[in-house]
Amino acid sequence: MEADLERFADALKMNNAIIDVTDLKRDHSGATGEYEDFYKLAGEGETDERLDTGVEYLKELVEVTRDGFDRMESMMESGFGTLG
């Protein structure tokens, strides 16, 4: 059980072009069986599902763009992309 909680906490430590989690506060207590599931709550003025979807698309675009530039740089270094 402790290993599962550690894996969950590690998954929350995101650092990418959109999200940078710098701290994670934990509070451990014994299981009560009160909750069967968990989910994100969004209050008024907070992010909602459509914005979350947009962020996922933006992260994908950033990754594709970064990969493309990496490939282009690699081609340039190998002499494939030189003019002359």
pLDDT tens for 62-76 read: 888 888 777 777 777
Cα–Cα distance list, 24 to 13, 47, 58 (Å): 8, 19, 24
Rounded to a whole number of angstroms, the distance between the first and last alpha carbons of the chain is 62
This prediction's pTM: 0.39
pLDDT tens for 12-64 read: 888 876 777 888 888 878 888 888 887 766 666 665 667 777 888 888 888 88
Spatial CB neighbours of 40, under 8 Å, sequence gap ≥ 6: none
Q: Which residue has 């081609």 as its token pair?
A: 75
Paired tokens of 40: 């994100």
Distance (Å, rounded) from C-alpha 62 to C-alpha 81? 23
